[in-house]
Each structure stands twice: as structure tokens, then as C-alpha cells.
Structure 1
Amino acid sequence: MTPDARTTPGPDPLHDLHAYVAQPRVSGLAVSPDGRRLALAVVTLDGEGTGYATSLWESPLDGGPCRRLTRGGTGEAAPVWTPQGDLLFTARRPAPVVPGRAGGAPAPDPGSDPGPADTTAPGRPAGGGGDDDAPPALWALPAAGGEARLVATRPGGVAVEAVARTAGTLLLTSSTMPAAGRDGDDADERRARTEAGVSAVLHTATPVRFWDADLGPARPRLLAAEPLAAAPGEVGAEEPRLELRDLTGHVGAGLEDTGWTLTDDGRTAVGTWVVPRAHGEQSDTLVAVDVATGRRTTLADERDLEHRGARVSPDGGTVALVVSRVGTADRATSHWVATAELRRDADGVVTGAGPLRHLTSGWDRWPDAVSWTADGRHLVVEADEGGAGPLFLVDSATGDVRRLTADHGAYAGARVTPDGWAYALRSAYDAAPAPVRVRLEDGPAGAAGTVEHLPTPVPPLALPGRLEDVSATAPDGTTVRSWLCLPHGADAEHPAPLATFIHGGPLASSNAWSWRWNPWLLVSRGYAVLLPDPALSTGYGQAFVDRGWGRWGREPYTDLLAAVDGAVARDDVDGTRTAALGGSFGGYMANWVAGHTDRFDAVVTHASLWALDQFAGTTDAGFFWAREMTPQVAEENSPHRHADAITTPVLVVHGDKDYRVPVGEGLRLWWDLLSRSEAEDGSSPHRFLYYPDENHWVLRPGGAVTWYQTVVGFLDQHVLGKDWVQPDHV
């Protein structure tokens, strides 16, 4: 099942941890509106080797080697093309110095393709660096070539939300202080707050924090700019900057964590607007913002529905989006694609929308993202299905659904071009993310669903084993499928010990490559790794989610044990040496496992939910939690109630900056484990790996090395009976 892999030079990055964290990774793509140019975002270690930086590359669609486009000191991110062929990106690099102006000589070239003599380390410029504390600014690489130039800055940074496909109008967001007007005095407000020594934030609604960020007092605002002007031809001339217009002013939490799109003519922005409700709830409504005036019009606002991922048809007449039914204690959430006709006045300004047309409400899958084809006849939809993440083609008139990609890959970030292709990053548990394009309709270029792998500067990895699709039967007769990663040489005479990775979410699926929880690092050390999709997993229909809704300790748990039973029944897996590992919801399940069975030799629980009574009011998304878990249901499903039954050695991992599952969960779990230790010398088989500066995920290279060293050492000790090896530097 592995696509044409070739060995990576040097140390094996799936066994050598330092080589692993240094492995380049493709993290995103951007395709030009005309479909002729493809940019890739590639992540590498920074110059110091203590963090990561992103550079931009071009993947030639007509063949040949990839070409590096940027070489900034702190990395570049979020590439997007303009209709004129300029490549926009954000970076924290310093502004170039123009000859003849204050500052002297010109800055080193931060954006052009380096010559063959360049020997700088990845992520570092040849003679200049960025400012890690500086807010991200907007830069542009001209279509005609040459140096990148600075085109927009804001004290709170800028991010491009959308570029109008034909008009070139830009839609951006920027974090701005609430007292700042629309005339650009944000810097003064920030300076005054700093000089006053004030760090407090006065909130009027939730959330207060989000993932690893403290929110406020600055909040995102929606900004617009006319198409990027051409750079001046003469040396020393003033480079044109974008004139940013504030469309929304201070709106509190309305723009938090949402996505926006523009009509092709650049006149209307459409996106999600967060509205606070009673009892700490919030609703995701659909709105249109007139780019000329900033007038906001509500298009859809139904209390039991949420609206996300809007995209407007090429003719500007219809909006497509993902609609979600709000879950309750008695009813699981569900998702489908909907469309609505936009209404306009005589001047072409959007004044509202017709009723939602629930296009795929009868399709038993959950769409994640939608894109229009160039003719507006179809929507390209991403959704999980059966352990894969295929692309689907949905008829915009009838709602008929056809699966495009037939393989086991997971396709993400689809971008549709006028020539009938969808560009995306494809990954799977046997392939790291890489760029591909998928044919949307039958034609001379190939049959619909044809997948063409595109040039990438990151070679594929040679895996230390094989991937198999396996199934088991749960106690209620439901089929539970999993991926099983087996090391080379595992057979009846040499069965491999089993590590079970329990995915987070829980509304998710084990179907895509993961750099943070990579099973092949354990496979390279002789373990088999099971990746099950128990109840609550997506891609198996609504009933499969309903089975586990509000029943976390029941069907998800029994499904998990059934999957493990199926794996250890094989003669190439050693059922006498097993471990369970999970993060977030997977960590919750690992905790539940530890309190309900002693069949595993070790348990690893990362960023895990432990005491559901305290978690409910401390997570950053308490409103979402309350939709499923009543106090009674939370009490019945809380792992902390079974602490006395834990006999399995547990490795607890938690980051202090985790606001989704606050560190109090890990601290209380750690205390509940140690307080039950009866050894007179205070010793315990349990361990606590604590990260003061990491969040829900361990993101820094050094932290990742420590994580894998600790996890492997803990498993080797308790599963394989080896001596404990202390991880480096802890």
C-alpha cells in the first residue's frame, strides 16, 4: 500500500529521534487561480535547531525539480496567489531598507531564489534575520520574479482570509485593540496599555482562552484592500503598500476562530459570525459583509444549527456551507452540506439569502469542507469514510454524491482550478503529506478520480513495516475497523508486542499521517501499533456516532477492547505484551482503561480528561461540552471515580499552556495516582512528564524528542521488561 518510497539519506528518521524532528514536512499548498502555478509550504528546523520555520517552494506542474521561493529568517506561512500571479505570504522578517533612505544600504534579498553557491542553513537568510516578537506582516513575491516586498503591516499582525478570484480584492484579519478607531491608532492603544503596566482583560462573554492563547483585549477585525499594485520599476522608489480598510470595527468575539470567503468580483465577504447566547452558549451564524461599506447582513441564524466553511459559487449567486445540528444530551451532533441563494438589491449588494437547502442531509457522512467547481455544477467535498479521507463530488442541483478518490488516503485542503483539477495534500498512515491533484470529470486528461502525484522537495520516507486494514466485532455486533502497523519480520515465531494508539476528538478518525503521534517510531523499535476507530469515530455513519454519544465509558471502551482482542488473536502479535496510549479524548480513554482493566502492561495518557466535574467549567469550550454531558452523565463517565482500581503503571503527560484540557486534569490525576501509593519510601511505578511551555500538543523539536524518549523508555520498561533509561535533559 506504500507509494513508491525511497530511502532517505543519512540517519533513519523513523528510528533516530533527532533525525525525525529534523525531517522536512509539507504543511500546506496554494494553487494560482488559473491553475498554472503551485506553491508549497515546507517546514524545517530553524537555524538554532530549537524551533521550526516554514519556507515556500514552487512545485512545477510541467515536471522538473521544485524551486525554493523564500528564505526568511523566521519563516513564511499562509501562501495565497493573486489573479495577477503575485504570491502573498505572511512573515516576521524585517522590512528591507531602500537605498538613499534612512538606514543606508539595502537589506539582503529575503525572497528570491538562492543561487547555487548559497550554503545557509534551512530557515536562515544569507545575512539577515527576523524578529520573533514582531507581528506577522504581509509580503508579496512579484509574478515577474525578483525580491519579495513588504505590502502591509499592522501592530497586531495581518492574516489573509481570501483573495477575490477575478477582481483581486483582498480580505484580511488583524487583531486590534477595542479602543482603537478605524483611523489606525491601534499602536497608541497598545503602547498606553504597556506603559500603564496593565495585563488584565475584562471579559463579557466566553471564551476567555482558546487552545494555548489568552484572548483579549485585542480582537480580530475584518479588513479589505484593493488589488495589489505593481512594484515601481526604478531603484530607490517608494514601494506601494496596501491601504487597509476596517470593515467591522470592534466586535468582541464575533470574528473569533472563523473562516471567510470573497465573491469572485470582490464585492461581498461571506463567513461565520459568532453570537453569544444565554447560559454561556454561542451560535455560529452566517453573514455577508459588503466590502464597500462594511454593512453586515445575516444570511442564516437558526439556534439549533451552526454554519461554517462558506464558499460562494463562481457566478456569485449561491453560497454553499457545512451545516451542523447542535448536539444535546439526548441527540448527537450531525453535519451536512447546504446551499442558499443570495439576494441582492438593484445595485448588486447582498441583502439576504433564501432558506437553506439541505443538499446532503440524506448522505450518511460528515462533510468537513466544500469547494465549487468552475462551472458551479458540483461541489468538491472532504469527508471521512471507512478509515480514509476521500474527496467526493456533490451535484449542486440534486445533492447526488459520488466518491472521487478510491484509495485509502486522506485528502485535505482541496483547491479547485478552472481546468478541472482539485489540488490537495494527500496523506495516509503509510505516507506523509504530499501534493497531488485529482481529476474531477472524465476527459482527455484522464478519468474522474485519477490521482496524480506532484513534485515535492520532501522525499517520501521508507517505512520500517507494513500497514494492514483489520476489523473486529464489538459485543453488540457492530464492526470496528482499525489500521495495524506491523514491523518487518513480525510472524508467528517472532510476534510483535502491541501498542494501541487511541485517537482524540473524539469525533474524528485514525486515517491521516501524524507527526506528533507517529506509530512508525514504535514500529521501528519492534512494536506493532493498532489504530482503532471505536464508537464516536467519523466515517462510519451517524449511528456509529450515536452509539457513543454521552456514553464515553461504554461503547467506545468496549469497541476498543474488541479491536485489541482482534489484533492479539493474530499469530504475529504478542497478546502477552501490550500497552494503551492516547491523547486528549484518547487520553480520557486511556484513563478509563487503566481504571477498568489490568490487561495492559502500561498506559500512556497525554493531555487527558480525568475528573469530568472540574473539567466542565475550566475547558476553553465549556458550552460545547455542556451540550453532551449533563452533570449525571459526566459523573457516570468520569475516570477519576475509578482511581482505586488502577494497578497498571501510568505515564501522565501534560502541558501547562493547554487550555482545551487544562493542566489541572493532569495534576489531579498525578495526585490521585501518588496518593494511593503504599510504598514506605514513596516510590511508584507511575511517571509525570510535565511541559511548562507546551500546550495541548508538544510542538518544539526538543520537546518532541523528550516525549518519544520517555514514552519508548516507559513502554520498554513495563512491556518488554528492560531497564529504565532516563530521557535526556529531564
Structure 2
Amino acid sequence: MNDIEAALAATVVADVQVSPDGERVLYVTSSVATEKDTPPAGTLGLVDAAGGTPRRLTSGSAGDRWPRWSPDGRRVAFLSDREKRGSAQAYLLDLRHGGEAVRLTGHDGGVLALEWSPDGARLALLVAAAGDEPREDHDETVAGEDVGKASLWLLTVPDDAAAGGALPDQHRLSPADRHVGGILDYGPATFGWAPSGDALVATFTASPVFTDQLPAELVTIDLQGGVRGLGTVETFSAMPRFGPDGATVAVNAADGALPALFTLQTVPAGGGSAQLLAPGHPGSFFGFSWLPGGEILAILQEGQQQRLAVVDPAGGPVRDAIAPFDRPGCVTAFSVSADGRRVAFVRADDTSYGEVYVADLGSDTPARRLTDLNPWTREQDYGEVRELSWTSFDGLELQGLLVLPVGYQKGRRYPLLLQIHGGPMGAWLHELRRYPCLDWSQFLARRGYAVLLPNPRGSSGRGTAFLSGIAGNYGEPDFEDLMSGVDAAVDLGVADPERLVVGGWSGGGYLTNWTITHTDRFKAAVSGAGIANWVSFQGTADCRSAFDRYFGVVDEDPETHWLHSPIRYVKAATTPTLILYGEQDARVPPSQGHELHQGLRARGVETRLVLYPREAHAVVERDHQADLLYRVIDWFDTHLSGQ
């Protein structure tokens, strides 16, 4: 098995949940790839927090996910599509008696998320809309109409659920004309219970369509369906949660307007102004959980790492939550015990896709690793990953990662890939990424390349001002940031200035397109799901409102959109360019790739456009991911060697 095949067989942790007493840890594993026409599979695992051999709670080819402990720790509710693949229902597993899980729901559209009430008597369910009924007399569709909305339901959990019995009582709670939650491909965890159990907090939007998400309504809902508005928030998935006293709600949202995303804020549960937590902090917050004493535990990205940090809503300093690790890495998910003393979390690093750990909050004792999901990675050769800093054209200090070739020899220069991350509100971190086809660095490092993974302005992990540094001029200062990063790699003596290639996906595809139309210093380029024409993009993509925050409303200011469109400058392009798209991509429609492909062909520039059927914005099928990686490597090798 070669390195690409091994990576596509990797196991990743999708969720982690510590038991209320902190003694056991549930986690969900899945593969980094799916098979053709097959929904993703998932398996529930259980391990003692003290260590030991993990055991499977579920098995088979179904998609089991979203496990949640009952407040007494005796039962687990989870979602599974074992009855109908692609449509999950809620199930209940009693850990006291063992046996098979019992199905609790039969919603036509399936269930997207669930949460236990504080007393364990109910489950709040996020229920997907049922699919369209077959139409015998016609097969046309009307764009934008009858978009299914997710709704909030309440289910009374039976004390003695039994397989084959009647489904428990459940009823809809949220209004029919509102969508509960955010963009479903960003995760549906957008509701939470009040500590008293008499209300929930959630976000409402007009529909699940990306462009309808901004802004979202923050609301509380009582158990009779009464709705109280708490204002609006700029967010894709706010994950609102009541504080332990029930008087405050916390959200993950933008400071003002997008792109200043990833701040923590609190709002009075009875209504009032939002308070920004840790204002001016030079980092980004991703997910959080209240602690019993009123502080907040959150994932904090600073630079190229993500760690667990404690935030004091009263204004105290942000501090480390657990003992530091001896190598850089990235926490991607976590869960806290009921007493707030123990945390289970998933952590990846430069040679790990992520393992389950447990630690005691505030302790100097190092975290314990509980799983070993990909032991084969210890047999792989990985290029050394170094932190790199440099100064851009205007004096701004920038950061990124430099991946050295396997077998690197100081004093020797190597071909360099400039790989640009997407978003643009993302960042390269110390981790092996969940989708190998989106991070080419280690595959190329094994083939003799150095790889620069830069975090230009507009990236997360450097605070609000840095995130907003490309509003109104996306593509201009960040392009200069990228070029100065390449210069830094050359000045280090690592990169050969005559053997440079460039590529990226999504926002990285856009900046690749901008690069090939503004410089000829690269020998080859790979543009994945990139924007070529902002004017046509805003008329065809599902995320128009997000980029209104960068360039303004397109019909009010088409000139700014056109000014920042790579296709406007295509006559300057000379770089051979491979263009890749998912055929079903609504985020960046393949029409963008066709525009670039035709533009380059008309100028006599070597180019190839590859479309992957059934794929959306992320390529997930195993064969497609493999094909993509082999094409990327071959394209770069061919144009650097001339063979």
C-alpha cells in the first residue's frame, strides 16, 4: 500500500463525549473517504477515561453518529441511518443492560441532531424536512422555492423503551416558516437547553441555504412553542448555549459583520446587548462549553495551533485549560464532565489525524491518550514541519508552515509548492487534515518537494483585524503576502526560485487563479474549486451574502467585483493550469472552472479541466480523492521536469 492509499484508508475521530461522571468516553470514528454512491459510515466507540482497550458499541456499515449521554450516565442517545442509509433516526442504547439499540423516531427527512433535557426526561431533536414527493405530471423544478426547513421537536423518552414497540410521543416545537440551525454542511448543533429545562435557545434563519444565513435570529423557545427574540448574530453556526445560571446565553459569532468571525459573545437571556468576551484577543475561538462556575472552555486558535483555553466572562485573562503538549498540534473537538473537572478531546498533529485524549482541567498532569487509531502512520516518512515568519510589503508580520522534503539536506534547494488554504477564513495548522486531497504537502514532501503553507491576512488565528484585512480588496494584499512568503522560502536557501508551483482549493483556488493572472514566476498551477469571475459567481453560487461582506452587493458595485476577478486579467496568464471541480458544487459552481478553462485556452495556455461526478464542494469519494492526488503530483512533476 503506497502513501496515498494508506492515507485514504485512515480512520478519523468525528466526535467525542465524556460521561457525566468523567469516567468513560464515547467517540465516533469514520473514514476519510467514502465509496461510490454510499453514505458515510460511522462507528461508536467507548473507552475508560483511566485507559484500557476501547470497545465498539456499534458495528456494521451504517452511519452511527452524534452520541449523547443521558444526564445520569446510564443511557446513550445517538443517530443512525441503519434502517435507511442517508436518513438518520434517533436511537437509545441502555448501557446497564446491553442489547440492541431501540429506535425512537421515524421522521421522513431524518434527524440531524439531538440533546437531552437536564432532567433526562426529554430529547430535543433537530428534524430535517421530508424530501419532495414524486410528481407524476411534470419533472421541472422552481429555483429557491419549497426549500425544506429543519425544525425543533420534543420527544418524551420512555423509561423502558423496547425494540418493536410504538414510537414515543413527540411533537414539533418551532414555527413552520423558520429554519432552525445554520448551514447544514457546517454542522447543525445550533440549539441548547436552559438549565431549568423549561426552554431552549436556538438560531432561526429563512432557510438552510447558505446565502440565507446572514444574519441569524437568536431566540429562546419555551416548551409550548413560545418564541422570544434576543437579536441577530452574524454566524454560520452560532452554537448558542445557556450559562449555568440560566441568565446568559453564549454564542460563537462575528464581532460586527463577517469576516470578523470566531469571537465569543454573551447575551442576556431576557434580552439586551451582546457583550464581546476577550476583546482584542489575537486569536480565534471555535466551539465552547460553559463550566459550572460560570467560565467558558473553548478551542482557541493562535497562529498555527489550536488548544483548549478558559475564558472568563467577567474579563479575566484567557488561560490554558490543561497542561501543554511537547509538540505543536490542533484540538478539533472536546466535551466536559458534569462537574467541569475533566475534559475529553480530539487532538491531531503533524503526523496524526487525531486521537482521543482525556485530561483534568487546571492540572499539570499531561493528558492521557486513549486511542491508537492509525498505528501505520508511525511507519510513514513525514517531512519536517517548521514554523515560518516573514514580513510582507507593508511591514505586516506573517506566519505559516514550511514542510521540508523527506531526507532534506541543508544547503540544497528544492522545488517548492505554494499551497494556499481555503476560506478565506481558514488557516493551515499543525495537523494531518481530514480530507487528504485538500492538503498535498506530505505527499509532495515524500516526492522531493518543499511546501509552503502560508496564512496570509484574512486567515483565522490572528484576531479580528487580521481576519478583516482583506474586506474590500480580497486578492490584492493577500497575494503580496503569498509572494513575500515564497521570497522568504527562497531566501532561506530551501526553495529553488526556478522550480516553483502553486495550487489550492476553494479560496485557495481563487488566489491560485489570481496568482497565475498576476505573475509568471510559477511553472505550473492546480486550481481547485476556485472563483474566476466574482460577478457571475455572485449570480450562481449559494453563498452570495457571505461575499457581500467582502465586496459589497454585486448589483450595487459590480466594478469592485470585476476588478478582483482573475478572468479580467487572463490575457496575462502563461502558467499551465490544471482545474478541478466537483460536478455538484453549489458553493463554487463548476461554471467558474469553465470560464477559466475557456479563457486560458483562448490565450493558448496549456490547461485541463476535470469534473468529479456526484461531488460537491469537498471531494469525498475514495477513487476521486486518489485520482485528484495523482493528477496533482503528475501535473507538477511533468511541468517541472519537462517530461
TM value normalised by structure 2: 0.89
Which residue number corresponds to residue 246 of structure 2? 316
Asked if 1:655 is matched to 2:587, the reply is no
Asked if 1:718 is matched to 2:636, the reply is no
Greater C-alpha radius of gyration: 1
Which residues in structure 2 correspond to 1:257-406 (within 5 Å)?
Answer: 257=183, 259-274=190-205, 282-291=214-223, 293-301=224-232, 308-327=238-257, 333=260, 335-342=262-269, 352-376=270-294, 378-404=295-321, 406=324
The 1:147–1:335 alpha-carbon spacing in structure 2 relative to 1, beyond 3 Å, is: closer
Residue 277 of structure 2 aligns with an amino acid whose one-letter code is: L
Paired residue for 1:576, among 482, 488, 498? 498
Which residue number corresponds to residue 138 of structure 1? 90
Which residue number corresponds to residue 230 of structure 1? 160
The SS at the match of 2:638 is helix
Residue 693 of structure 1 aligns with an amino acid whose one-letter code is: R
Which residues in structure 2 correspond to 1:21-420 (within 5 Å)?
Answer: 21-44=8-31, 51=38, 52-84=40-72, 85-94=74-83, 131-132=84-85, 135-144=87-96, 145-176=98-129, 191=133, 193-195=134-136, 197=138, 200-201=141-142, 203=144, 216-232=146-162, 238-239=164-165, 241-253=167-179, 255-257=181-183, 259-274=190-205, 282-291=214-223, 293-301=224-232, 308-327=238-257, 333=260, 335-342=262-269, 352-376=270-294, 378-404=295-321, 406=324, 408-417=328-337, 418-420=339-341
Return the alpha-carbon distance in structure 1 between the equivalents of residues 350 and 560 of structure 2: 34
Return the alpha-carbon distance in structure 2 between the equivalents of residues 608 and 29 of structure 1: 33
Q: Is the 8 A contact 2:307 2:330 kept in 1?
A: yes
Return the alpha-carbon distance in structure 2 between the equivalents of residues 635 and 46 of structure 1: 37
Return the alpha-carbon distance in structure 1 between the equivalents of residues 597 and 445 of structure 2: 29
The 1:492–1:720 alpha-carbon spacing in structure 2 relative to 1, beyond 3 Å, is: farther
Deviation at 1:535, TM superposition (A): 1.1
Return the alpha-carbon distance in structure 2 between the equivalents of residues 591 and 503 of structure 1: 13
Residue 414 of structure 1 aligns with an amino acid whose one-letter code is: F
Return the alpha-carbon distance in structure 1 between the equivalents of residues 229 and 236 of structure 2: 13
Deviation at 1:156, TM superposition (A): 0.8
Residue 151 of structure 2 aligns with an amino acid whose one-letter code is: R
Asked if 1:510 is matched to 2:447, the reply is no
Q: Is the 8 A contact 1:140 1:150 kept in 2?
A: yes
Q: Is the 8 A contact 1:338 1:356 kept in 2?
A: yes
Return the alpha-carbon distance in structure 2 between the equivalents of residues 424 and 565 of structure 1: 38
The 1:502–1:483 alpha-carbon spacing in structure 2 relative to 1, beyond 3 Å, is: same
Where do 5+ consecutive residues of structure 2 fail to align? 553-557
Deviation at 1:567, TM superposition (A): 1.2
Which residue number corresponds to residue 485 of structure 2? 563
Q: Is the 8 A contact 1:310 1:322 kept in 2?
A: yes
Residue 416 of structure 1 aligns with an amino acid whose one-letter code is: V
The SS at the match of 1:465 is coil
Return the alpha-carbon distance in structure 2 between the equivalents of residues 70 and 533 of structure 1: 40
The 1:307–1:576 alpha-carbon spacing in structure 2 relative to 1, beyond 3 Å, is: closer
The SS at the match of 1:615 is helix
Residue 216 of structure 2 aligns with an amino acid whose one-letter code is: D
Residue 82 of structure 1 aligns with an amino acid whose one-letter code is: S
Q: Is the 8 A contact 1:324 1:333 kept in 2?
A: yes
Deviation at 1:579, TM superposition (A): 0.9
Which residue number corresponds to residue 616 of structure 2? 695
What CA RMSD, in Å, does the superposition of the two structures yield over aligned residues?
2.7
Q: Is the 8 A contact 2:36 2:621 kept in 1?
A: no
Residue 549 of structure 2 aligns with an amino acid whose one-letter code is: R
Deviation at 1:614, TM superposition (A): 0.7
Return the alpha-carbon distance in structure 1 between the equivalents of residues 13 and 303 of structure 2: 25
The 1:508–1:305 alpha-carbon spacing in structure 2 relative to 1, beyond 3 Å, is: closer
Deviation at 1:314, TM superposition (A): 2.6
Deviation at 1:452, TM superposition (A): 3.0
Residue 223 of structure 1 aligns with an amino acid whose one-letter code is: W
Residue 581 of structure 2 aligns with an amino acid whose one-letter code is: H
Identity %: 27
Return the alpha-carbon distance in structure 2 between the equivalents of residues 366 and 379 of structure 1: 14
45-54 or 629-638, larger mean C-alpha shift: 45-54
Q: Is the 8 A contact 1:466 1:485 kept in 2?
A: yes
Asked if 1:549 is matched to 2:549, the reply is no
Which residues in structure 2 correspond to 1:490-501 (within 5 Å)?
Answer: 490-492=408-410, 494-501=412-419
The 1:227–1:316 alpha-carbon spacing in structure 2 relative to 1, beyond 3 Å, is: farther
The 1:483–1:46 alpha-carbon spacing in structure 2 relative to 1, beyond 3 Å, is: closer
The 1:503–1:461 alpha-carbon spacing in structure 2 relative to 1, beyond 3 Å, is: same
Which residue number corresponds to residue 515 of structure 2? 593
Deviation at 1:50, TM superposition (A): 7.3
The 1:520–1:307 alpha-carbon spacing in structure 2 relative to 1, beyond 3 Å, is: closer
Paired residue for 1:430, among 351, 376, 390? 351
Residue 27 of structure 2 aligns with an amino acid whose one-letter code is: L
Which residue number corresponds to residue 6 of structure 1? none
Equivalent pairs, count:
617
Q: Is the 8 A contact 1:609 1:665 kept in 2?
A: yes
Q: Is the 8 A contact 2:458 2:468 kept in 1?
A: yes
Q: Is the 8 A contact 2:9 2:33 kept in 1?
A: no
The SS at the match of 1:695 is coil
Which residue number corresponds to residue 402 of structure 2? 484
Deviation at 1:46, TM superposition (A): 9.1
Q: Is the 8 A contact 2:33 2:622 kept in 1?
A: no
TM value normalised by structure 1: 0.79
Q: Is the 8 A contact 2:329 2:347 kept in 1?
A: yes
Return the alpha-carbon distance in structure 1 between the equivalents of residues 147 and 487 of structure 2: 52
